Every structure is written in C-alpha cells, then in structure tokens.
Chain A
C-alpha cells in the first residue's frame, strides 16, 4: 500500500470504481512516484530502447497500475468471505447478528492496517457511501416493497417517520445543549457547542437507519406489520433528515435564525419529500415504458431497471431532494409494469442482482464502520457520549409511546404494548448517521470529532446491544412471528371479492372512503396506464388471472423439479383430485373437461418413470431473505443441464395442464426459480403453435386397473418425438412396454388444450426460439 499516494495528493475517493471515477484513478497514477517499478510501460520501453545492456524484464512487479481496482476487489472479497465464514460456523449466526460480526471484522482489519503502520484509508467516505454503497440496498428494499401492507399502514408510518424523527431530533439536541451549558464548567469544550450545533447533531443521530434495521430484522422473522412499520419508518425519515441537516447546517453557517427561515424549512420539507417521490415516479414510468419495447433484446432488460433507478437517485440528489424516497418510488412504481413486460429470466436476473449487490453493500458498510472506528479521528468525552446514548434511548421510547397513543385512535388494528416495545427497540442507528457526521465541515464544526465519537458509540450500542438482544426478547415476549403463508387461490379470490364488496358498500353508504379511491385508481390504472406501459395482450390481463397463471407455472415447475422424489408441493397431503370435484355427469360425459385426472398414486408412478429417464433435478430452497438465498446442492455438469432442459421442456408442456394441487407454500410474491436450465419456463415458451391437433397430453386411465405404469405418457413422448418440429429430439428412450388401451380421446379435448394454452399469457410477441437456440451446445 502506498501511503504517500493517499495522503499526499489528497485525492478523495481512492476506492471508487465505475466509469465516472476512472478520472480519479488516472490522476492517482500521475501522483504516484515514478520508480523503476511503478506505473508506466514508458519506463520499460525506455529501458529496452536506450539501455541495451539492461536485460529484458521477464517478470516485472507493477502494482501501482492495478492498485485501486485490486484493493477494491480485495475489500469485496473480504466481505464475501466473511459472509461465507459466518454461516460455516454452526451456532454463531444464531446468537450474534451478522452486523455485529462484520463490525468486529472491520475493527480487526482496521487494527491490522494500523498495526502495520499504514494510515487507515478513509473508507466510509461520504461520497462512496451515498453514491455506491447505499443505493443497491435501498433499491432492493423499494423494488420488493410489499405494497399492500405498506399502503395500509402509510399513515402510521408517516407519523412515526416525520413526527417521531422531529421529536427525537429536537429532544436530543435541545437537552444535549442544556447539559453542555449547565452541567459542565464554562471553560470546557462542551460549553462552546452552540444550540444549532446540538440540534444538528440531534437530527443526525435521531434517524433510524434502514440498513441496520434490515440487517437485524431480517434475521428475527417478525410479523409483517411490525416489520413494515419499522422498516417503512426508516425509509421515509430520510426526507426529514435531509431537510433538518441542511437547515441546521446552513443556520450554523450563517449564524442567524429567523422565523421566515424556519417557515421556509417547513416548506422545503414538503418539497424535498414530494419532489423526491415525483422524480422517482417519473423515472419509474420511463422504465416501465422502455420495458415495453424490450421484447427483442431481452438480455439487457435488467440493465434498464438498474440504470433508471440509479438515475432517479442521482437526479434527486442533484436538487437536494430525498434520493432514498426517489429510489423507493421508482422501484415501487415500475415494478408491476416491468414485471408484466420482461421475460422470466430477466425477472430472475433482476432479483438476484439486487439481492447480491445489496448483500455485498451491507456487508461492506458494516466492515467499513469497524475500520472507520479504528481510523478515528476520535475525541472521547465521557459526558457527551453517555448523555447522548441515554437521551437517544429515552427520546425513542417516549416518542413511540406518545405517538402510538395518538395513532391508536385512528387505527382499526391497534398497536399493543408489545408492538410498541418492538418498534421502540428496533430503532437502530447505522452508517447513514456516521456518514452524515463525516460530511460535517471542520471549520463550522470544531467539535466534529466529539460528534463522530458519540455517533459511533450510539451506533455500536444500538447494533450490538439492541441487535443482539432483540431476538431473545422477541422470543420472550412471544411476539407474533411471520407466518409461512401459502398464497392460496381462494384467498386471492376473496381478497378481490372483498375489495369490490367494500367499494360497493361504500358507494351505497354514500361514503367516499379509501376503498372508493383505491377502486378509482385501479380503474384508471387498468384503463389508461396499463395500456401504455404494458406490451401486447398482457395489458388486459386481470390480476386474478395473472395470479392464477403464476401459480400454475410454479406448480408445473415444482412438479417437474421434485421428480427427485422430494415431498409434494402441497402443504396438505391429500388424495383429492379434480374428479372428486367435477359433478357426476348423469348421462353425457363432460365434454369440456380439459383437465386430466390424476390421483396421488399415479403421480408417484409418473414421477418414478421420469426419474429413471431424467437426470437428477435440483431441489430449491424457497426464500427471499438475502441471507438464506439459495444453496445449490446438486451441481451437474453443464451438458447435463442442456439435456435436462430439453426433456423438461417437453414435460413441462404437458405438466402445465396438471391442476392437482395449487397451494404454493411460499411467502414471496415473486416466483423464485433457481434452475439455470429454466429456459423452458419462459412464458414465451408457452406460445406453442396450436397448429397440431394432436397435442400430446397425459391421459391416465383410471378405469383400467392394470399396470400402474402409465405407458401412455411415454408413448406420448415417443409420438411427440416425431411430431414436434421445433424440438431437437429427445434423447430419452421409452422402455418397451405393452401399450395400454387408451381412453378414447374426446375430440374436444384437443381443442380445449389449445384454448388452455392460449390462456397462458405471453409477454413477448413471438416465441423466441433464438433464445433457446443460443444456449445449445
């Protein structure tokens, strides 16, 4: 590490990457001392030209060129390895939350760097933090924000975010000033801290930090309401923090406070908040509109999502608007439209990239916090620090209790004392507070170091003490945990039914309640917005149908993948199948029955057969929690995957018609697909040419109790082999068995198959075989 480079040139963000900042890299190169080894090819060239005596360097050490990217990669590698390591140690992650461990690692690394005599780099530089590390986490949160509970509790969240933060800031700032003035001698440093400085400090320290909250809450699996309350508060209080910060910073610079300025401050709060949201919505609409035309360039679809969101963030930052709110608004607005337009693979890509980046960011932030603690500069003042910590806690508790008292008058589902305790206890501070403190100008704030030390202490206290104890406390208090809810089709039907019912009753009452407005918004959305932003036929697809198709697809995928004999995809094992429900026909057979019949036994047999012919498929873990995102136990060879893909394409086409079990045990609203060979599950794959009348389908003859090995399936495969032009040919050889007598296929069945297939909506204009073709060896 060349310490001289860093200190001498005063180049700020040596650790920044990205195209914008390569300038910094180039400039740092110029500053580095030209030694025989450093930098330029020029030196070597000179050598070879002028000095014929000098040997041609076979092995040369040239570290300076790659120093910056090398160090960045090293940090990221360290972060990822740490993450790996924590989960290898068996019980560690249960007792200590990851964030604590990461801070400790950061402390160690910082200690090592300092121990070797180098100056610790200013890693938690504000620019790096706010422009590189923070956006992925916020985008991840905003894109996957559960809209329904968020909107239902919006009032509560806003009150906590705005009023709560204001209360905290003024309480802490004011009392701190009082303590500084009264409690200490007039000659001590503390008494020189002005009121405005204290208020500024209060506003920095009072904001609940989304990163810390996310890190801790994701591990305790608390119920949805509390999660969304604390998390929503941590997101929305950014506007308040931004306004207060700039307000007090300017005031302390100028030195005079007038009522007009205060009034302007209030106005600026609304501008900052609403402006940020507006910027976000604008970019969100742009992104949705762009995604409408990406059907031919599916590969770069995720890029649009990321770019537009990042641009929203940066644009908001240009005008000193709330970047976090812009990012949240952008992600939340674009998501329904983008997801209707993009391919399945892009959806998976977006999800995984977001999770990956936010995970790495979070890890890095905590490590850097540790390093920055070692780096200092510190000025420990016992009074200040202890008073700060105590005041923060007290302010939070009083704020939450007081506000809940008011809020409960307007809520239907009241917040209990337990809830209040968790909300108060979950108010963690984090790296945002530190970075804001770091940004303070040394001239205006001579006591900057005292502030920084206090901020770090509060962060450590909340993350370590509160973070570690919240899990056992949640257990102790028996707080309601998150339910492993199955998204069942009945609940979806009734959710919609209830929405319409309540809107209707409101209309009868003559009361324009929030159901009325929600309904109006939905109608507007359906009529105008969706037509603009969603491509093709999917713009007309009602939500219920979309939900149903999603579930069907999940079902088919699971059924195929669990061909390895793992448990059935339904939470309730039962032998009920479609035929138990269909009304017994008196005279004629139901001609419209498009759904084949399968009972559990038959399914087992089919699965067994498939198993003997297919390679082992993989079992997926279902989780949207970044910490437990998928492990991949069976890593087959790549060629096997292609083989599998072809076979599964065939099977999925048939299995998508199976309608046996439709309860999907998965909380995330997105369909998690892990398999890389999941090319066939692309909705486009379902736009099968309905030309061939003899669509292969599974028919299991239950009437004939002969050999349970339903050969029909394999015969269908054999037939399909010859019929399907588009397939590259199955490599599967059906075992030779005697043909079973087939049930006479009803003529309408083929027609119904086609109709069923058309039911499955397809986001692309045409089946994109090129996509599949590109992946074949």
Chain B
C-alpha cells in the first residue's frame, strides 16, 4: 500500500474543511451542495461510495451517515496513481483494490454479487442524463452485458441453470484487460488551493 504524501493530505484537509463548512464531519447534504456534481449521471452512487463502510478498509459493512476526515482520505486513496516502481504483486493488489471499489459501487445491496437488477440500474443511471431513454434499451444493454459476463466466466451452462450474478472474481476476470490501475486515477499531486473551485 502506498501512502499519500503529507502535501496531498494537507490539500485534502483544506478541501474537507471547505466542503464541511469547517465542521468535523461530512454528511450527504454537504456533497449535494457541490454544483458541478449536478450534471453527473451517477452522482448518487458516487456520493454513496463515500458513506459505504466497505470502502473504509476496516472490513466493515453497511452505510454510515457521516464521515470524518480519515474516512474521506481513505476513500480518496483509491484514486492515487501507481508509484513508479511497482512489482507485479503490488500492481495486482492495486488493481484488486480499485476494482473492489467499483464492485462495491455496483453491488448496492451488499450481498457480494451484482445481480441483473443491480446491473440494469447501473446502465439506467448511466443513460439517465441523455434525455430520450427507453427502459427497454437499458435492459437490452444490461442483459447483453450480463450474458457476456456469464459467457466469459462460466462458459458452459445447461439450459436450466441459472447465473446468479457477477461475483467479485468474475468481475476481476471481466475487466482484467481494462488496465484499471492506470486509468482510475486522479492527479491531485499538483493541486494547490488556488486552483480549487469555489
């Protein structure tokens, strides 16, 4: 596990104070105040991810109502860039961590499996800002995606078998060529407060 530098923690702390209006904890309505997020089709899921105990690296479960600075930093740490020299093992670990974050975002009912309903919800949310959405289209896409996962992960199934949903292992296999460790990063290395919005 890599550490975030002191400088970055300082910057994040400033931002935390800004968002929480100098209180000690952040709540959901603090996030709702961020204007830029309004256009984001998956803002609800993003905000929920901050309050999801599974992302706090403490093997917890369930949701909380407010978070402190420590949890804020831990969630943000999922997006740090990979360090220059990483062994294969470290790279694999980072990949798992980031994919776990994504998985938690999809798996809203916390049962460790992304069911078809949950996946449909994901696709619907993604398309929700595009205006003319027909529910069937989202369903088609989600169904097709689910079918693909099943084909890749399980391969051969009898006609009467049922594919429960995407487990974390299947999810890993699905996105193994996605290079998530270099794509899911925020460059908040060179941030300073003057570039912060608001």
Q: CB within 8 Å of B: which residues of A?
A: 412-414, 483, 485, 488-491, 493-494, 496-498, 500-513, 515-516, 519, 523, 526, 537, 540-542, 544-545, 548, 551, 570, 572-584, 592, 594-595, 599, 659-663, 702, 752, 755-756, 758-759
B132 interface residue per 8 A CB criterion: yes
Contact B148 A595 (CB under 8 A): no
Pick the 3 closest A-B CB pairs, nearest first.
A542-B130, A510-B196, A507-B36
Q: Which residue on chain A has the smallest CB distance to residue B81?
A: A412
Contact A755 B141 (CB under 8 A): no
B113 interface residue per 8 A CB criterion: no
**Once bound together, how far apart are the Cα atoms of A583 and B148, in whole Å?**
16
Contact B134 A759 (CB under 8 A): yes
**Once bound together, how far apart are the Cα atoms of A507 and B41, in whole Å?**
13
* Closest chain B CB from A746 CB (angstroms): 15
Contact B122 A493 (CB under 8 A): yes
> Which of B15, B31, B81 has a CB less than 8 Å from the CB of A509?
B15
26 residue pairs A–B, Cβ–Cβ below 8 Å = A412-B82, A483-B177, A493-B145, A494-B102, A494-B175, A497-B42, A498-B184, A501-B102, A501-B184, A505-B186, A507-B36, A509-B12, A511-B195, A513-B186, A513-B187, A516-B36, A541-B130, A545-B141, A548-B144, A574-B154, A574-B156, A576-B156, A579-B159, A594-B140, A595-B140, A662-B144
Contact A511 B134 (CB under 8 A): no
**Once bound together, how far apart are the Cα atoms of A660 and B37, in whole Å?**
37
Fill in one digit per residue for B142-166: 1 if any A CB lies within 8 Å of its CB, else 0: 0111111111101111110111000
Contact A659 B36 (CB under 8 A): no
| Residues in chain B near residue A702, CB distance under 8 A | 159
**Once bound together, how far apart are the Cα atoms of A581 and B37, in whole Å?**
34
| Residues in chain B near residue A491, CB distance under 8 A | 175, 177-178
B172 interface residue per 8 A CB criterion: no
* Closest chain A CB from B156 CB (angstroms): 5
Known pairs A501-B42, A583-B162 / 12 extra A-B pairs, C-beta < 8 Å: A490-B174, A497-B42, A497-B102, A505-B79, A507-B197, A510-B15, A513-B186, A548-B141, A574-B152, A577-B147, A663-B148, A755-B136
Once A496-B126, A497-B42, A540-B132 are accepted as A-B contacts, the answer to whether A490 and B149 lie under 8 Å apart by CB is: yes
Once A501-B46, A508-B31, A663-B148 are accepted as A-B contacts, the answer to whether A582 and B136 lie under 8 Å apart by CB is: no
* Closest chain A CB from B137 CB (angstroms): 5
**Once bound together, how far apart are the Cα atoms of A509 and B175, in whole Å?**
26
| Residues in chain B near residue A488, CB distance under 8 A | 148
* Closest chain B CB from A664 CB (angstroms): 10
Once A483-B177, A507-B37, A574-B155 are accepted as A-B contacts, the answer to whether A500 and B81 lie under 8 Å apart by CB is: no
Q: Which positions 180-194 of chain B face chain A at CB distance < 8 Å?
A: 180, 182-188, 191
Contact A490 B140 (CB under 8 A): no
Q: Which residue on chain A has the smallest CB distance to residue B133?
A: A542
* Closest chain B CB from A558 CB (angstroms): 15
Contact A510 B198 (CB under 8 A): yes
Contact A583 B116 (CB under 8 A): yes
| Residues in chain B near residue A584, CB distance under 8 A | 162
| Residues in chain A near residue B19, CB distance under 8 A | 508
| Residues in chain A near residue B116, CB distance under 8 A | 581-583
Contact A510 B155 (CB under 8 A): no
B62 interface residue per 8 A CB criterion: no
**Once bound together, how far apart are the Cα atoms of A759 and B123, in whole Å?**
15
| Residues in chain A near residue B115, CB distance under 8 A | 583
Q: How large is the interface on B (under 10, 10 to 19, 20 to 34, 35 or more residues)?
A: 35 or more
Most central of A414, A491, A573 by chain B CB within 10 Å: A491
B1 interface residue per 8 A CB criterion: no
> Which of A485, A537, A544 has a CB less than 8 Å from the CB of B123?
A544
Once A578-B147, A580-B162 are accepted as A-B contacts, the answer to whether A504 and B81 lie under 8 Å apart by CB is: no
* Closest chain B CB from A465 CB (angstroms): 34
* Closest chain A CB from B16 CB (angstroms): 10
Contact B76 A509 (CB under 8 A): yes
* Closest chain B CB from A518 CB (angstroms): 13
> Which of B126, B156, B183, B186 has a CB less than 8 Å from the CB of A493?
B126
**Once bound together, how far apart are the Cα atoms of A506 and B40, in whole Å?**
12
* Closest chain A CB from B127 CB (angstroms): 6
| Residues in chain B near residue A599, CB distance under 8 A | 159
Most central of B81, B102, B187 by chain A CB within 10 Å: B187
**Once bound together, how far apart are the Cα atoms of A414 and B84, in whole Å?**
8
| Residues in chain B near residue A507, CB distance under 8 A | 34, 36-37, 40, 197
Contact A756 B122 (CB under 8 A): no
**Once bound together, how far apart are the Cα atoms of A451 and B70, in whole Å?**
67
Contact A412 B185 (CB under 8 A): yes
* Closest chain A CB from B54 CB (angstroms): 16
Contact A503 B40 (CB under 8 A): yes
Contact B151 A572 (CB under 8 A): yes
Contact A500 B40 (CB under 8 A): yes
| Residues in chain A near residue B84, CB distance under 8 A | 414
Once A493-B145, A509-B191 are accepted as A-B contacts, the answer to whether A580 and B157 lie under 8 Å apart by CB is: yes
* Closest chain A CB from B172 CB (angstroms): 12
* Closest chain B CB from A584 CB (angstroms): 6
**Once bound together, how far apart are the Cα atoms of A592 and B137, in whole Å?**
12
**Once bound together, how far apart are the Cα atoms of A483 and B42, in whole Å?**
31
* Closest chain B CB from A702 CB (angstroms): 6
| Residues in chain B near residue A580, CB distance under 8 A | 150, 157, 159, 161-163
**Once bound together, how far apart are the Cα atoms of A254 and B180, in whole Å?**
57
Q: Which residue on chain B has the smallest CB distance to residue A573?
A: B155
* Closest chain A CB from B162 CB (angstroms): 6
Q: Which residue on chain A has the smallest CB distance to residue B34?
A: A507
Q: Which residue on chain B has the smallest CB distance to residue A758?
A: B134
Q: Which residue on chain B has the smallest CB distance to residue A548?
A: B141
Once A513-B187, A540-B132 are accepted as A-B contacts, the answer to whether A662 and B140 lie under 8 Å apart by CB is: no
Once A494-B102, A544-B126 are accepted as A-B contacts, the answer to whether A508 and B151 lie under 8 Å apart by CB is: no
Once A510-B197, A594-B136, A599-B159 are accepted as A-B contacts, the answer to whether A489 and B36 lie under 8 Å apart by CB is: no
**Once bound together, how far apart are the Cα atoms of A491 and B173, in whole Å?**
12
Contact A570 B174 (CB under 8 A): no
B39 interface residue per 8 A CB criterion: yes
Contact B145 A512 (CB under 8 A): no
**Once bound together, how far apart are the Cα atoms of A195 and B151, in whole Å?**
67
* Closest chain B CB from A595 CB (angstroms): 7
**Once bound together, how far apart are the Cα atoms of A505 and B141, in whole Å?**
26
**Once bound together, how far apart are the Cα atoms of A241 and B174, in whole Å?**
45
B22 interface residue per 8 A CB criterion: no
Contact B144 A540 (CB under 8 A): no
* Closest chain B CB from A693 CB (angstroms): 18
Contact A508 B37 (CB under 8 A): yes
Contact A581 B126 (CB under 8 A): no
* Closest chain A CB from B163 CB (angstroms): 5
Contact A489 B148 (CB under 8 A): yes
**Once bound together, how far apart are the Cα atoms of A574 and B151, in whole Å?**
6
Q: Which positions 73-101 of chain B face chain A at CB distance < 8 Å?
A: 76, 79, 81-82, 84
Once A500-B42, A660-B147, A702-B159 are accepted as A-B contacts, the answer to whether A540 and B130 lie under 8 Å apart by CB is: yes
Once A485-B177, A759-B140 are accepted as A-B contacts, the answer to whether A662 and B148 lie under 8 Å apart by CB is: yes
| Residues in chain A near residue B39, CB distance under 8 A | 519, 523
Q: Which residue on chain B has the smallest CB distance to residue A506?
A: B186
| Residues in chain B near residue A551, CB distance under 8 A | 144
Q: Which residue on chain B has the smallest CB distance to residue A659?
A: B144
| Residues in chain A near residue B123, CB distance under 8 A | 493, 544
Q: Which positions 17-60 of chain B face chain A at CB distance < 8 Å?
A: 18-19, 31, 34, 36-37, 39-43, 46
Most central of A491, A509, A755 by chain B CB within 10 Å: A509
**Once bound together, how far apart are the Cα atoms of A731 and B160, in whole Å?**
38
Q: Which residue on chain B has the smallest CB distance to residue A504?
A: B46
**Once bound together, how far apart are the Cα atoms of A169 and B113, in whole Å?**
59
| Residues in chain B near residue A659, CB distance under 8 A | 140, 143-144, 147
**Once bound together, how far apart are the Cα atoms of A506 and B79, in whole Å?**
10
* Closest chain A CB from B193 CB (angstroms): 9
Most central of B15, B141, B184, B196 by chain A CB within 10 Å: B141
**Once bound together, how far apart are the Cα atoms of A519 and B36, in whole Å?**
11
| Residues in chain B near residue A542, CB distance under 8 A | 127, 130
* Closest chain A CB from B87 CB (angstroms): 15
